């Protein structure tokens, strides 16, 4: 009889049990998951086929069960009516109820045509799930048993996060793959695990492979999440290891979509070295759509025997993953629910996290110890499967629990945790918690919101210390399957990309590797910041304020230039004798040295270049010299910004700054000289032998140059005659070429198409500049006080209208 598959295993006792349960095997899940927990009877108070004695005739055992129990409960359905032993037991119980003390209770679980010996009896109608509770209460009243207390059963499904080592006992469906990985790692030191997003790669390793290796013993396991700084993460993982080490990189695709090119190259080459050395075993986990990037990396080729491709779970394994975790904690799934889940899972991309999310949500809606198809059907909306809808409902419910102000924080947090990419598709983007804040956040509100997202399994927060915490989306399927987040991304993509670009450029600027925004780019960034005043952090706000400040200075300079043009003849009113006196005084204050004509080694190569004899200024033009030109009304005054944070730099004996290339060229022409070309400037700094620095090839230190050496606050500009840096002079006596201020030269340049000019110092030369024509970019040579000292072959490029605190000039003349 099929009822032998159900219920308790307790043998019949001399005490009279309360209930004999007769049902088909098809209805077993409902009986064990809802009926029995709803009755609350002890196991030894219920008789089922499993209580029958082995070897005894089935007829005798059925008869004995009917005779020795107070009630016989018939769970009726079409399956019951086609079960031979179930119908026999029902017939026997009905006959005994007429001729003896037995009592039969029919319970209709599914509509069916009842036999005459049962149809005349009063039914318990459980055909409508909404009436289950009422009908079982009636049955308890008949049996005279109280309502059992509600049970708390921990959910064995992890939801949107991957299975971890603590969930290993509930991890099903990947036994074959786990055995394969364990076997491979016993014989080889490198494995690449590849599969589509949501295929369960991480769960396979953390809940399948690693627990097996840990049980074997002797393994030292480190897991690395690459993020934006993979090389740094790798170094931390390798620090202090001992014994047989397994290095797990998950997910590898972050290296290709989040790390900078230089950081990516360092990380991949380090992994290649580790692989070749055999110092540790390496397991890489990667999405299949990143194969092209891997094939162009130092890790390629990867032999076929080193690749494990994870495919979607087959039908039998998917059924295990659905039903076995629940069964392990005594909870059952209706067969029709399993079939519905299987149907919706087929063909769904990244089905496993969606399935886990649905199971978590169904767990909250279970009926006693039963997960039902009705509860699952209630999840599906808007033509989406219950799987996707379950995840979306859970996320929307978590959002709805928050106030509007905290929902705004959620929107910002989740948007910043999405890596936006048109080429690879949007993906997760782990970020420091500090990068998710803005200056306007209330700390308590922010922390409560972040904790809420973590508690609802939408975000994973890692790290113990406040400064080192990181946050990440629980799974990428949130991006694809949650309409709210998908809409946020679509509506805010352009603005979020603008914010990230400003943030990135502000970071480069703070590190000294990027110029301020100018022109249309500055205007667009400022307009954006006005529309979203609370989206930028302190660093980004300082970056834009500095850009606006320089723009204001340039506008003042342009206005002054225009005014001078309109009043161009006024300088003629200055007596010629006075003009001559001031010009001679400026020349006297700018001593020169003679550099003989000949061949000099010039450029990054360097290469031989023939140059004429030059009179080269010993030091930069000073404020005192430049003010004489202003007094003569030949030059426009340099304008320092009104900024209390800007150190004073306008002392008479300090180099003039905040001068454009046009102002510099104008001064040199006034004293009968000119701006040097790039080659001439290098001749003054490197001599004829092409030395690295003015003093030779010895690396610089604070005795050579007035420049930044890893200091938080750069030094002030120093007087041009300051002898503290005499070690940095050339043998000919030219000073401050490698520090103090960088200097304008009269060579037109443009960015090298093959190299980043800011980082490489490589610009393509276009030709000479006459000091008057409007041009785009001029070369700037030498190190300034705000920078680390640089080799003399390097060149920077700036707009000739730029004026800043770190740029000055010196003059030369041809010696004939």
Q: What is the pLDDT of residue 348?
A: 60
Nearest CA-CA partner of 283 in 235, 255, 246: 246
Helix (H) or strand (E) holding 412: helix 404-416
- Tally: H helices and E strands in the chain: 30, 27
| Structure-block tokens of residue 375 | 């509860």
Report CA 640 to chain centroid distance, whole Å.
41
Instruction: Tell me how far apart the alpha carbons of residues 815 and 21 are, in angstroms, rounded to a whole number.
Output: 117
Q: What is the pLDDT of residue 687?
A: 93
Contacts of 612 (CB under 8 A, 6+ apart): 597, 814, 815
Instruction: Tell me how far apart the alpha carbons of residues 326 and 318 are, in angstroms, rounded to a whole number.
Output: 14
CB atoms inside a 10 Å sphere around CB 149: 7
Nearest CA-CA partner of 745 in 763, 726, 757: 763
- DSSP state string for 726-792: GGGS-TT----SSSSSEEEEEEEEEE-TTS-HHHH--EEEEEE--SSS--S-EEEES--TTS----T
Helix (H, G, I), strand (E, B) or coil at 483: helix
Inter-residue contact 34 to 126 (CB < 8 Å): no
Report the chain's C-alpha Rg in angstroms: 40
Instruction: Tell me how far apart the alpha carbons of residues 35 and 139 are, in angstroms, rounded to a whole number.
Output: 10
Q: Identify the CATH homologous superfamily for domain 174-309.
A: P-loop containing nucleotide triphosphate hydrolases (3.40.50.300)
Q: What is the pLDDT of residue 470?
A: 83
Q: Which long-range contacts (CB under 8 A, 24 or more apart) does 261-269 make?
A: 263/228, 263/229, 263/230, 263/231, 264/230, 265/298, 266/231, 267/226, 267/230, 267/231, 267/234, 268/297, 268/298, 268/299, 269/298
Torsion over CA: 156, 162, 167, 173 (sign): positive
Tell the residue number behind the tokens 């970020």, with chain if given.
431
Inter-residue contact 177 to 209 (CB < 8 Å): no
Look up the CATH architecture of domain 2-143: 3-Layer(aba) Sandwich (3.40)
Instruction: Tell me how far apart the alpha carbons of residues 485 and 471 are, in angstroms, rounded to a whole number.
Output: 17
Torsion over CA: 24, 26, 27, 28 (sign): positive
| Structure-block tokens of residue 787 | 């920078």
Inter-residue contact 319 to 338 (CB < 8 Å): yes
CA angle 801, 804, 810 (to 5 degrees): 80
Torsion over CA: 430, 168, 220, 189 (sign): negative
Nearest CA-CA partner of 619 in 721, 724, 704: 721
Contacts of 71 (CB under 8 A, 6+ apart): 18, 19, 20, 102, 103, 104, 105, 142, 143
Helix (H, G, I), strand (E, B) or coil at 356: helix
- DSSP state string for 507-560: HHHHTT-SPPP-HHHHHHHHHHHHHSTTS--HHHHHHHHHHHHHHHHHHHHHHH
pLDDT averaged per 10 residues in sequence order, the chain, 816 residues:
38 66 92 94 90 87 86 91 83 68 83 84 92 95 91 89 88 93 92 86 93 88 90 87 83 85 91 89 88 88 92 88 94 94 74 84 92 87 72 85 90 84 69 79 86 81 64 78 82 71 75 71 72 66 73 60 52 70 92 93 88 94 93 83 51 90 94 95 94 90 77 68 89 91 92 50 80 89 80 86 87 85
Helix (H, G, I), strand (E, B) or coil at 595: strand
Helix (H, G, I), strand (E, B) or coil at 124: strand
The CATH T-level fold of domain 577-814 is 3.90.1580
Instruction: Tell me how far apart the alpha carbons of residues 531 and 521 are, in angstroms, rounded to a whole number.
Output: 16
Torsion over CA: 608, 610, 613, 619 (sign): negative
The domain spans of the chain are 2-143, 174-309, 315-393, 577-814
Whether 577-814 and 174-309 are alike in CATH topology: the answer is: no
CA angle 560, 566, 568 (to 5 degrees): 95
| Structure-block tokens of residue 106 | 């029919």
Beta bridge partners of 192: 284, 307
Strands annotated E in 211-304: 219-224, 244-249, 281-287
């Amino acid at each position: 009889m099929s009822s032998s598959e159900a219920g308790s295993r307790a043998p019949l006792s001399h005490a009279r049990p309360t209930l004999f349960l007769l049902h088909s095997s098809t209805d077993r899940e409902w009986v064990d998951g809802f009926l029995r927990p709803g009755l609350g009877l002890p196991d030894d108070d219920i008789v089922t086929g499993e209580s029958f004695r082995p070897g005894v005739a089935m007829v005798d055992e059925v008869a004995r069960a009917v005779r020795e129990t107070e009630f016989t409960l018939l769970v009726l359905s079409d399956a019951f009516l086609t079960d031979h032993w179930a119908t026999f037991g029902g017939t026997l119980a009905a006959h005994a109820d007429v001729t003896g003390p037995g009592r039969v209770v029919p319970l209709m679980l599914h509509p069916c045509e009842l036999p005459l010996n049962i149809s005349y009896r009063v039914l318990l109608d459980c055909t409508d799930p909404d009436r289950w509770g009422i009908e079982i209460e009636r049955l308890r009243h008949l049996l005279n048993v109280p309502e059992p207390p509600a049970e708390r059963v921990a959910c064995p499904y992890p939801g949107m996060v991957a299975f971890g080592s603590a969930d290993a006992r509930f991890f099903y469906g990947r036994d074959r793959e786990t055995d394969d990985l364990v076997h491979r790692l016993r014989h080889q030191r490198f494995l690449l695990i590849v599969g589509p997003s949501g295929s369960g790669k991480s769960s396979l390793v953390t809940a399948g492979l690693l627990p097996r290796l840990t049980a074997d013993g002797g393994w030292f396991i480190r897991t690395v999440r690459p993020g934006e700084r993979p090389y740094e993460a790798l170094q931390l993982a390798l620090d202090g290891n001992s014994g047989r080490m397994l290095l797990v990189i998950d997910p590898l695709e972050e290296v290709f979509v989040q790390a900078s090119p230089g950081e990516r190259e360092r990380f991949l080459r380090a992994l290649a070295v580790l692989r070749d050395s055999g110092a540790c075993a390496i397991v890489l986990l990667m999405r299949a759509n990143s194969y092209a990037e891997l094939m162009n990396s130092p890790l390629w080729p990867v032999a076929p025997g080193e690749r494990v491709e994870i495919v979607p779970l087959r039908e039998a394994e998917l059924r295990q993953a659905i039903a076995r975790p629940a069964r392990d904690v005594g909870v059952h799934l209706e067969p029709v629910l399993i079939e519905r889940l299987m149907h919706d899972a087929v063909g769904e991309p990244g089905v496993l996290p969606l399935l886990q999310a649905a199971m978590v949500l169904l767990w909250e809606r279970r009926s006693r110890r039963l997960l039902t198809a009705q509860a699952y059907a209630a999840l599906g909306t808007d033509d989406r499967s219950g799987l996707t809808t379950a995840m979306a409902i859970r996320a929307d419910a978590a959002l709805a629990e928050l106030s509007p102000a905290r929902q705004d924080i959620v929107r910002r947090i989740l948007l910043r945790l999405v890596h936006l990419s048109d080429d690879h598709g949007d993906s997760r983007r782990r970020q420091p918690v500090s990068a998710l804040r803005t200056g306007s956040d209330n700390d308590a509100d922010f922390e409560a919101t972040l904790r809420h997202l973590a508690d609802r399994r939408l975000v994973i927060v890692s790290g113990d210390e406040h400064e080192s915490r990181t946050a990440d989306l629980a799974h990428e399927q949130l991006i694809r399957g949650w309409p709210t987040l998908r809409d946020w991304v679509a509506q805010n993509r352009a603005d979020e990309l603008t914010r990230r670009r400003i943030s990135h450029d502000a970071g480069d600027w703070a590190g000294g590797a990027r110029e301020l925004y100018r022109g249309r780019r500055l205007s667009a960034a400022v307009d954006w910041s006005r529309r979203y005043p609370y989206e930028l952090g302190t660093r980004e706000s300082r970056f834009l304020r500095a850009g606006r400040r320089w723009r204001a200075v340039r506008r003042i300079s342009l206005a002054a230039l225009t005014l001078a043009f309109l009043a161009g003849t006024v300088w003629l009113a200055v007596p010629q004798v006075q003009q001559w006196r001031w010009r001679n005084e400026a020349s006297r204050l700018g001593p020169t040295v003679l550099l003989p004509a000949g061949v000099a080694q010039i450029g990054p190569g360097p290469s031989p270049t023939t140059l004429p004899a030059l009179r080269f200024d010993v030091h930069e033009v000073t404020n005192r010299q430049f003010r004489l030109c202003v007094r003569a009304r030949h030059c426009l005054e340099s304008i320092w910004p009104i900024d209390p944070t800007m150190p004073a730099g306008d002392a008479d004996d300090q180099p003039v700054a905040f001068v454009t290339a046009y102002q510099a060229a104008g001064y040199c022409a006034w004293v009968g000289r000119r701006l040097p070309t790039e080659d001439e400037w290098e001749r003054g700094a490197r001599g004829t032998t092409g030395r690295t620095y003015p003093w030779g090839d010895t690396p610089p230190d604070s005795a050579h140059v007035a420049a930044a050496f890893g200091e938080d606050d750069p030094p002030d500009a120093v007087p041009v005659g300051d002898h503290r840096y005499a070690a940095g002079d050339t043998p000919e006596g030219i000073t401050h070429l490698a520090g103090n201020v960088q200097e304008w030269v009269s060579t037109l340049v443009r960015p090298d198409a093959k190299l980043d000019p800011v980082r490489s110092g490589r610009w393509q030369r276009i030709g000479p500049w006459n000091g008057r024509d409007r041009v785009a970019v001029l070369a700037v040579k030498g190190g300034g006080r705000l920078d680390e000292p640089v080799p003399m072959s390097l060149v920077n490029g700036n707009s000739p209208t730029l004026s800043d605190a770190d740029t000055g000039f010196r003059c030369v003349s041809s010696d004939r």
